[in-house]
Amino acid sequence: MSSYYENFIAETENNISAKANDMSKGGLSTAYDNSIYADQRLSKKHLGFALKQNVEELDHLLTSFDNKWQPLNGKKYWFTNYDDLLRGLRTIVWDKNVKSYFIDDKNSYLWSEIGLLSFLKREKVKENEEWPNIQFFEVNKIIADTNQFLILGNENTIKRLNNNVINVFVVGIEQVLKNIDVAELYIKIKKEQRDAEGGRLFPIFYTPSSQNRDILFILDNMRSNVMQYPKQRKALACLHCGRCNEVCPVFQCTGDKAYDNIFSGPIANILLPHLETIDDYKFVSYACTMCGNCEKVCPVSLSLRDMIMENRKFFLEKGHLSFGEKQRVKKLHKTLQNRKKLNKVAILKSLKMRKMTTKELRHSRKLTKFEKQSFNQQYIKKLKETN
Ligand code: SF4
């Protein structure tokens, strides 16, 4: 690796720790003392708090970012969905006679979400790493108060950004951060993740310019629909690190196939019904055993179980369950609140369980086997034995 990049990384790392130590003087961190940033656990806690706060203030942050955008900062377009975004992109491809492209970090889920590769194929735009007419970058975060883009790129990203070609930057509306302090904390946590994977992180704060023909595409794609739900919208603070998938017992059995979507795992159990349609995706909110493994590993301390429960409650209250499903929920609710019923002999409970489940469910999996005695009965027995 060249010394330029070595210096760049060292400088970035020094800058992060220097700024982090200085953060207690800034607006966000007044409630915390300096040493918090030396402690990874507390850093995560603070980042989680800051990102959830960002989601709460998203309207304000987006407006502030929009108002500050200068002509100098290149062009900026808002799109409600990926079809609109691709139509906007087609106009650029046709107007500028674009024949070749380069994509920074091809594996990003954002490119799959908008279907970029298939679009470019349809438009007969060819990949050309050396001499592209257009380059695509995923913006990881936008910093509202400075109008900068934070890009977590690779060794080549900086060089690429200096190319005098059309640069298209794409970002989801939820990725706006209040200020640079939160961005640096975010880098710190991402860096820890990258280190654990054995890779290196190249954080770049980029100020767009019209001379470089920079174009920003801001994508909603139903994220504002999630914003309607005060409890579930916190899920938009997710870093998409994938750690919850690794520890989720359901995901480990089903993999991502069951989701048939670019989002999968615990976070998808909350977001998908709102990003897609409730009737098509409500089933994912029930694909959770409430074990809580995801919450233990989540770097931003998302209360995933609470949000999943909120979804279930919402589906029931807003009539998204069929008559049969509603009846089953009611019966289960009654049973779980009745000590006598819970203490019935195991065979009666198994019969009840069979009655409450659908044929499809009984065919696709083994139903729970009940212990001879309930936990309550075993506890009372133990107490009697010890006295
Ligand atoms: S652990 Fe899951 S919910 Fe938490 S940030 Fe990572 S992907 Fe998102």
- Closest C-alpha to ligand 1, atom 4: 298
Q: Are 307 and 235 in contact (CB under 8 A)?
A: yes
Nearest ligand 1 atom to alpha carbon 294: 1
Length of the chain counted residue by residue = 387
Regarding the beta carbon of 240 and ligand 1, being less than 6 Å apart is answered yes
- Closest C-alpha to ligand 1, atom 1: 298
21-43 pLDDT per residue, tens:
443 333 222 233 344 467 778 88
Cα–Cα distance for residue pair 379/51, rounded to 1 Å = 43
- Closest C-alpha to ligand 1, atom 8: 238
More confident residue, 46 or 266: 266
Regarding the beta carbon of 241 and ligand 1, being less than 6 Å apart is answered yes
19 has a pLDDT exceeding 50:
no
> If you measure from the C-alpha of residue 268 to the centroid of ligand 1, how many angstroms do you get, rounded to a whole number?
10
Nearest ligand 1 atom to alpha carbon 240: 7
Q: Which amino acid is at 37?
A: Y
Regarding the beta carbon of 267 and ligand 1, being less than 6 Å apart is answered yes
361 has a pLDDT exceeding 90:
no
Sign of the C-alpha dihedral, residues 89, 93, 94, 95?
positive
Tokens, residue 369: 């086997």
Number of Cβ within a 10 Å radius of residue 361? 10
> If you measure from the C-alpha of residue 248 to the centroid of ligand 1, how many angstroms do you get, rounded to a whole number?
11
Structural domains of the chain, with CATH: 3-221 (3.40.50.10420), 228-317 (1.10.1060.10), 323-386 (no CATH)
51-101 pLDDT per residue, tens:
999 999 999 999 999 888 877 778 899 999 999 999 999 999 999 999 999
183 has a pLDDT exceeding 60:
yes
> If you measure from the C-alpha of residue 28 to the centroid of ligand 1, how many angstroms do you get, rounded to a whole number?
23
328 has a pLDDT exceeding 60:
yes
88-146 pLDDT per residue, tens:
999 999 999 999 999 998 888 899 999 999 999 999 999 999 999 999 999 999 999 88
Cα–Cα distance for residue pair 263/281, rounded to 1 Å = 11
Regarding the beta carbon of 297 and ligand 1, being less than 6 Å apart is answered yes
Q: Which amino acid is at 214?
A: D
Residue in 175, 302, 308 to alter for ligand 1 test, most ligand atoms within 8 A of Cβ? 302
Question: What are the angstrom distances between the C-alpha of 256 and each of 259, 260, 317?
Answer: 6, 7, 29
> If you measure from the C-alpha of residue 192 to the centroid of ligand 1, how many angstroms do you get, rounded to a whole number?
14
Of all residues in the chain, the percent with pLDDT exceeding 70 is 90
Residue in 298, 303, 304, 307 to alter for ligand 1 test, most ligand atoms within 8 A of Cβ? 298
In the 8-state DSSP scheme, what is residue 173? G
DSSP secondary structure string for all residues of 211-255: TTTEEEEEE-TTHHHHTT-TTGGGGGG-----HHHHH-HHHHHHT
Q: Return all residues near 236 (Cβ < 8 A) that are at least 6 apart.
A: 55, 58, 174, 223, 226, 227, 271
Tokens, residue 102: 């380069």
